[in-house]
């Protein structure tokens, strides 16, 4: 027998919220839709609300009614497409789904698009779960975040896949809470400023790494409860570490319990199958022309910042959002109404997203993974830009890794791969990413990409990291690269921590920590990261010897350092470089110290710069350049007299 509890009027969404939702401007739609515990006067239970405009009927089903869709039918709001239901005496922890009857009469069990928690995979039901019980202790961080000038601060991001960073002896995953003790302290000890988590939204398949999502509002139960994730983020903030989440507004999983054909028709995806399909990933693309989808996505971004206090997002696959045909091998080319291949509605969505986020949460990070030459990704929307504040420099990563794979004999012919990035380094606010994408699918780990014997591989990797940390732009490193993980990333297994028992890896790990520390302490390496005044070539053209020399400048007059990178395996003695002023210089850092596994070639004494013009500089000096090495020089001043180490790093 069919049964429907009458929904008390005070539990219906307001007409104004419904209007904003359909307008695409209800940016906290998670408060209106989904499952919410009610406890007021004589009302105790759960109110459910879901958008399913083409459904003939929607019921809430679960263990509480033996999964019988006739027991708890929902009421449809007139002409809105929103269904509302109330089940008295239901409590936290109840599992549920929506039984949705499509226009053709077909019934499907759907997870709640706005569910705050989900069953542990392979189970797929949603869980009634309030998110208002955790007591935060990060007020100091949250206040500071609003005032921090992120563009002129050091940034070293540690990209992590939680399931494979570290595992228990029996192969079980660490919980969010356990990771709060181990991973957070590890990040602090190694000088990272942020942890970036690969998607932690609920997804059905471990091998998708979180990129094929079924529960956009649901922190995956693989690693524990929502409160445990809150504790992890809280601990990060208390230890001065920011938290960035990978976020996936480009596409969603086709699994039957997910968003696909949610009300029996294409709803979150386009009705045009060519626009809906994302064949290369086996997913559906979001339809940004629907205001309700825009409300859903922008609300989702707001949700993670509001409820979980996250400090930003790395927005996945932005190129596939803004271009109709990017990474989309369809039988025909798609076009917009003007004949171009830009997705105009998607571009409008991204602009609205960034405007909304920055208005509400100043100081957060919105980082675009954008692989093309789309202009003004980090430009303000008022000037026609997309409004992100950072873009991954994937062109730089591709060029430098292509170069580093070459033997030293081949490098002179490809010198442009080293220098090309500086032609556009200040056209956007860039993050330089050595991400998980570079460590999988047969691409090999960073150290195993390097040519030469074992010593040369590590020397090349030290040089590469030296170049990374001295090149303009913020830094991102995928887990394991900091200690020279030799095998490429295996998402089913933890990182190869036993490598730290081997001298080459432990010395490299020490090098990374000290390089990161030097970077954070040296203002000229980050103070003007996104301004051309912060960089000056000294010599970009020495292809024959595979050496580049440049200057990084800080804000204050006289705050600069000189960087020399030698991509050959030769030692160059009495190597002349131009410098901006005469006086004494010293080698402040080198990648070739014996303590790092290097050959120990360094400049042990102060170097006198004379007023002899060279490299378009008024002065010059002669130095020793280490093989497959990077060295940083600073000018001696009264303030720098203490702590200068001239006996090797």
Query: What domains, with CATH codes, occur in the chain?
Result: 9-127 (2.60.40.10), 155-366+385-416+436-463+479-506 (3.20.20.80)
Residue pLDDT, tens place only, 83-97: 999 999 999 999 999
- Which residue pairs, CB below 8 angstroms and at least 24 apart, start in 615-618? 615/538, 615/539, 615/549, 615/577, 615/578, 616/538, 616/578, 617/538, 617/578, 617/579, 617/580, 618/580, 618/581
pLDDT recorded at residue 643: 47
Does the pLDDT at position 108 exceed 60? yes
Query: What is the predicted pLDDT for the residue at 639?
Result: 66
Average pLDDT, the chain: 95
Residue 41 has pLDDT above 90, yes or no: no
DSSP reduced 3-state for 16: helix
What's the CA gap between 343 and 595, in Å, rounded? 53
- Residue 40's pLDDT is 83
Q: Is 499 helix (H, G, I), strand (E, B) or coil?
A: helix
Place of tokens 């600073």: 634
Per-residue confidence band for 8, with pLDDT thresholds at 50, 70 and 90 = confident
Active site (catalytic) residues:
316, 369
Condensed to tens digits (0 to 9), the pLDDT of residues 464-500 reads 999 999 999 999 999 999 999 999 999 999 999 999 9
Q: Which helix (H) or strand (E) holds 543?
A: none
Summarize pLDDT for 534-546 with one digit per residue, the tens: 999 999 999 999 9
Task: Name the H helices within 100-211.
Answer: 139-147, 162-165, 176-189
45 sits in the region (left: phi over 0; alpha: psi -120 to 50; else beta) called left
Structure tokens, 282:
């086996």
Quickly state the pLDDT bin for 645 (edges 50, 70, 90): low
pLDDT for 1 beyond 80 = no
Q: What are the helix (H) ranges across 157-224?
A: 162-165, 176-189
5 band by pLDDT with thresholds 50, 70 and 90: low
Q: What percent of the chain stands above pLDDT 70?
A: 97
Q: How far apart are CA 490 and CA 500, in angstroms?
A: 18
Answer whether residue 521 shows pLDDT above 60: yes
- pLDDT band (50, 70, 90) for residue 640: low
Q: Give per-residue pLDDT as tens, 193-231.
A: 999 999 999 999 998 999 999 999 999 999 999 999 999
Q: φ and ψ at 434, to 5 degrees?
A: -105, 85
Local structure of residue 598 (DSSP, 8 states): S
Please check the confidence at residue 548 and state whether its pLDDT lies above 50. Answer: yes
- For the chain, give the percent of residues with pLDDT over 90: 92
357-387 pLDDT, tens digit per residue, is 999 999 999 999 999 999 999 999 999 999 9
Question: Residue 325 has what pLDDT?
Answer: 92
Stretch 13-22: mean pLDDT, rounded?
A: 95
């Amino acid at each position: 027998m069919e049964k429907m509890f009458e929904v008390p009027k005070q539990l219906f969404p307001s007409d104004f919220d419904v209007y904003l939702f359909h307008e695409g401007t209800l940016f906290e739609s998670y408060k209106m839709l989904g499952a919410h515990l009610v406890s007021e006067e004589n009302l105790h239970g759960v109110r459910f609300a879901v958008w399913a405009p083409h459904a003939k009927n929607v019921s809430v089903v679960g263990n509480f009614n033996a999964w019988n869709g006739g027991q708890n039918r929902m009421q449809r709001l007139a002409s809105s497409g929103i269904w509302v239901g109330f089940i008295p005496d239901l409590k936290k922890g109840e599992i549920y789904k929506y039984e949705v009857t499509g226009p053709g009469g077909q019934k499907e069990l759907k997870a709640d698009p706005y569910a705050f928690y989900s069953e542990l995979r392979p189970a797929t039901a949603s869980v009634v779960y309030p998110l208002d019980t955790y007591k935060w202790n990060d007020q100091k961080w949250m206040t500071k975040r609003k005032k921090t000038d992120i563009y002129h601060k050091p940034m070293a991001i540690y990209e992590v896949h939680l399931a494979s960073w570290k595992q228990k002896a029996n192969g079980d995953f660490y919980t969010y809470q356990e990771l709060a003790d181990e991973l957070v302290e590890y990040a602090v000890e190694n000088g990272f400023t942020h942890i970036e988590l690969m998607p932690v939204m609920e997804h059905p398949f471990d091998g998708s790494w979180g990129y094929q999502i079924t529960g956009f509002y649901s922190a995956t139960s693989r690693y524990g409860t929502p409160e445990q994730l809150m504790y992890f983020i809280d601990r990060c903030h208390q230890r001065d570490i920011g938290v960035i989440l990978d976020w996936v507004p480009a596409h969603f999983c086709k699994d039957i319990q997910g968003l696909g054909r949610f009300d029996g028709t294409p709803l979150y995806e386009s009705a045009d199958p060519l626009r809906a399909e994302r064949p290369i990933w086996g997913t559906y693309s979001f339809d940004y022309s629907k205001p309700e989808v825009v409300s859903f996505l922008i609300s989702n971004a707001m949700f993670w910042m509001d409820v979980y206090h996250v400090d930003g997002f790395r927005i996945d696959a932005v190129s596939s959002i803004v271009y109709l045909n990017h990474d989309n091998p369809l039988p025909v080319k798609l076009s917009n109404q003007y004949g171009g291949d830009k997705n105009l509605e998607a571009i409008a969505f991204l602009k609205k997203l960034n405007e909304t986020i920055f208005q509400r949460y100043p100081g957060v990070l919105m980082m675009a993974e954008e692989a093309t030459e789309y202009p003004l990704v980090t430009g303000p929307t008022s000037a026609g830009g997309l409004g992100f504040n950072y873009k991954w420099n994937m062109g730089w990563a591709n060029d430098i890794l292509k170069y580093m794979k070459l033997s030293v004999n081949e490098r002179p012919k490809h010198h442009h791969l080293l220098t090309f990035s500086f032609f556009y380094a200040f056209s956007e606010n860039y993050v330089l990413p050595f991400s998980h994408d570079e460590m999988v699918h047969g691409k090999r780990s960073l150290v195993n990409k390097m040519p030469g014997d074992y010593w040369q591989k590590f020397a090349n990797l030290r040089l590469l990291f030296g170049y990374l940390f001295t090149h303009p732009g913020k830094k991102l490193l995928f887990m394991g690269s900091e200690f020279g993980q030799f095998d490429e990333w295996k998402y089913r297994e933890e990182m190869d921590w036993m490598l730290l028992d081997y001298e080459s890896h432990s010395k490299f790990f020490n090098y990374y920590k000290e390089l990161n520390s030097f970077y954070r302490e040296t203002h000229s390496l980050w103070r003007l990261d996104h301004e051309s005044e912060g960089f000056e070539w000294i010599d970009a053209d020495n292809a024959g010897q595979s050496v580049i020399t440049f200057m990084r400048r800080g804000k204050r007059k006289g705050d600069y350092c000189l960087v020399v990178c030698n991509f050959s395996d030769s030692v160059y003695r009495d190597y002349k470089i131009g410098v901006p002023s005469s006086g004494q210089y010293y080698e402040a850092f080198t990648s070739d110290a014996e303590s790092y596994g290097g050959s120990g070639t360094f400049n042990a004494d102060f170097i006198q710069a004379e007023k002899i013009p060279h490299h378009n500089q008024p002065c010059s000096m002669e130095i020793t350049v280490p093989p497959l090495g990077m060295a940083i020089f600073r000018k001696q001043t009264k303030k720098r007299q203490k702590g200068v180490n001239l006996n090797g790093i």
